[in-house]
Amino acid sequence: MNPLALAAVAVALLLLYVIRQIRVYNSLKEFRGPPTSAFSRLWLLHAIYSGKMNLHFNTVNEQHGDTARIGPRFLLTRDPALIRKMNAVRSPYTRAEWYNSLRLHPTRDNIVSFRDEAIHNKLRTQMSHGYSGKENLHMESDIDEHLLQMFGLIRQKYISTDAQYRPLNLSRIITFFTLDVISTIAFGKSFGFLVIDDDPFEYLKQLHVFLPAIMMFSVFPEVQKIMRLPLMRKLAPQATDVTGLGKIMGFAKDVVAERFGDNKVIRKDMLGSFLAHGLTQEQLESETITQITAGSDSTATAIRMTLFLITTNSSIYSKLLSELTIAQREGHLTRPILRDSESRTLPYLQACIKEGLRLYPPVTGLLAKEVPPQGDILDGRFVPGGTSIGWNSWGLMRLTEVFGQDVEIFRPERWLPGGGQNKEQIEYMNEVVGLVFGYGRFGCLGKPVAMVELNKSIAELLLRFTFQVANPAHPFDSTCIGFFLHENMIFRVSERQEPLDFHNLQYNLSTVATDHAGLAYSNGALEVEV
Ligand code: HEM
Ligand SMILES: *[C@@H]1O[C@H](CO)[C@@H](O)[C@H](O)[C@H]1NC(C)=O
Ligand SMILES: *[C@@H]1O[C@H](CO)[C@@H](O)[C@H](O)[C@H]1NC(C)=O
C-alpha cells in the first residue's frame, strides 16, 4: 500500500471515530453531569475507587438533577418513579451489561446476574418458595440459635467491667452472625464463625479485594472479558481454594453434592426447596454462593448501622429501651428471644429499623437497567435504546420532598404520628424506603430473612447489653463500593443493669442507711441523689 493510501485510511478511521464519539456525546446531551462523563467513564472509575461511591453519586444528583449523566451511555437516577418504572413487572427495561459482573462463578450465571428475562423469571419463580419461608420452616429458629451463640460469645470474651475493658469489634461479630445465619438457612450447615470467633479462611479480607474488582468489572466489562480468557482464569476464585470466595465455592459444592446420589440428605431448607422445584446440581452450586454474598454483608450493614445510630443518641436509646422493657415486663415478649411477630408490634423499634435502612441503604449501586431498543422519554427528554441507568439509593433515601428537611439526621420520630409528617406523607415514605430492597421483578428475594434478622437482633442485643461507642471522634472505618465495608466499629459493652424498680430502691436505701449509720442522712446528700 502506498503511503498516501495509508494516510487516507488513517484519516478516514479517525474521522469515523470522531463522528462516533460525537454521536455518543449527542445521544444524551440533554442530561447534565460531570464534564468528563460525556466522553469517558473516568468519573465512574474515580467514584468507585474513592471508596465513597455513595457520596459521589449523591453529589452528582444534587448538582445535575434527579437523573444525571455519569458516562457516555450511562445515567444515574434517584427518581423513585423512574426506579419503579424500570423494575415493574411489565416494564420493557432489562438488566444492563452491568449485571455481568455479578456472575461470581467463572462459567455460570446466577439469579442476580442473568440478563435474559425468560431465564431470570423462571429461576425466580422456582426459587421464590424457598426464599419466602413457606418451605423453609426452620428460618426463625435458625436465627434464634445464632443469636444465642452471639450473646454467649459476647459474655465469654467481650464484657467490660469497671475493672476491665474488653473492646468488642461490633462490625466483625455482626458479619460473623449474618454469615452463620445465611449458611444455616441456605444449606443446613453453619460456617461456624461465631463458634471459633475467627475468620480462618480470610473471607472478610478477600472481600476487600473482590468487591472493588466486581465493581470495576461492572463499569468496564472489557476488563472482565480479559479475565475470562483461559490464561487469566487461574486468577479467579476456584472451588479448590483454601481461602476466600473459592473456599465458599468448595463448601457450596460439597453441601450440594450431599443432596444427590445414593445416600442423599433430605432436608426442608432453602436448598431442599430449590431442589424440589427443579434446579440442577450445577444451578444449585452457583445459587448457593449467591445467597451467601447477597445475604451477608447487606444484612450486616443494616444491623450494625442501626445499632450504632440508636446507641449514639441517648434520648433515642432510652426511648427504645423503655418500649422494650415495658413490653417485656407486661409479658408481650417471648423469652429468651422475642418472636418476629412480636417485634412488629413495637412501633418505636420499627421506626428505628426503617430509619437505619433509610440512612444507610446497604446496596448503593449501580444495579443498572437498560433502556429498551426503541428508546424512552424521561421528563420530556429522549433517551436512546441501550443506555444504562443506575440507581443512587443513598440519594433516593435523602430526598427532602419525601422525608423532610432533616434527611441527614437519624430521627425515628419522623415515621410516627406527631413526628412532623402527616399520614399520607408517612405512607409515601414507607413506599420509598421499601425500595432499599429493590422493586418488582428484580426485588430482593431475601427480604423476609433480612427483616427477621433485624427485628430480633437489635431488640435482643439492647435488652441484654449496654453499648457505648469507644471512639466517638472516629467510630468506624467505612468503604462504599456498591456494598459497604465497615470495619473497626469498636464498642465498650457491659451487662445491662435492670433499672431499679420501687422495691429495689427501698431496699438499696435501707442498706445504705444501715451501712453509713446516720451519716448519709445527716447531710441530706442521699436524698438529693435519689
Ligand atoms: C438488609 C438486607 C438486604 C438488602 C438491603 C438487600 C437489597 C437487595 C436489592 C436492592 C436487590 C435488587 C437488585 C436488583 O435490582 O437487581 C436484591 C436482590 C436480591 N437479594 Fe437482597 N438484600 C438484603 C438481604 C438479602 C438476603 C438476606 C438474601 C438471601 C437470603 C438476599 C437475596 C437476594 C437475591 C437472591 C436477590 C436477587 C433477586 C432477583 O434477581 O430476582 N438479600 N437485594
Ligand atoms: C437525639 O435525637 C433526638 C430525636 O431525634 C433529638 O431531639 C436530640 O436532640 C438528639 N440528641 C442528641 C444528643 O443528639
Ligand atoms: C476488627 O475486625 C476486623 C475484621 O476481622 C479486623 O481487621 C480488625 O483488625 C479488628 N479491629 C480491632 C480493633 O480489633
Mean pLDDT of 111-127: 93
Closest CA to 34 of 56, 17, 50: 56
Between the CA of 473 and the centroid of ligand 3 the distance, in Å, is 18
Q: What is the mean pLDDT of residues 318-326?
A: 97
Q: pLDDT band at residue 499, thresholds of 50, 70 and 90?
A: low
Q: How far apart are CA 387 and CA 75, in angstroms?
A: 7
Distance CA 325, CA 463 (A): 7
Q: What domains can be seen in the chain, in order of their start residue?
A: 41-521 (1.10.630.10)
Judge whether 480 is annotated as a binding position: no
Which among 139, 298, 457 is the best mutation to test ligand 1's pocket, defined by most ligand atoms within 8 Å of the CB? 298
Q: How confident is the model at residue 505 (pLDDT cuts 50, 70, 90)?
A: very low
Percent of the chain with pLDDT over 70: 91
Asked whether the predicted pLDDT for residue 519 surpasses 80, the reply is: no
Ligand 2 surroundings by CB, under 6 angstroms: 313-316, 411, 413
Nearest CA-CA partner of 276 in 180, 261, 284:
284
Q: Are 124 and 446 a contacting pair, CB within 8 Å?
A: no
Distance (Å, whole) CA 3 – CA 122 = 58
Mean pLDDT of the chain: 88
Confidence (pLDDT) at 195:
96
Q: How far is CA 106 from the centre of its chain?
A: 24
pLDDT band, very low/low/confident/very high, at 526 (cuts 50, 70, 90): very low
Q: Which three cell numbers stand for residue 513?
A: 442507711
119 backbone dihedrals φ, ψ, rounded to 5°? -65, -45
- Identify the residues whose C-beta falls under 6 Å from ligand 1: 111-112, 124, 182, 291, 294-295, 298-299, 302, 362-363, 367, 436-438, 442, 444-446, 449-450
Cβ burial 269-307 (10 Å sphere, 16+ → b, else e):
bbbbbbbeeebeeebbbbbbbbbbbbbbbbbbbbbbbbb
Three-class SS of residue 493?
strand
Look at ligand 2, atom 4, and give the residue with the nearest C-alpha.
411
The predicted pLDDT at position 233 comes to 61
Burial of 100 (C-beta count, 10 Å sphere; 0-12/13-18/19+): middle
The DSSP letter of residue 52 is B
Q: If we measure between CA atoms, which residue out of 399, 401, 421, 301 comes closest to residue 357?
A: 301
Grid coordinates 428460618 are at which residue? 139
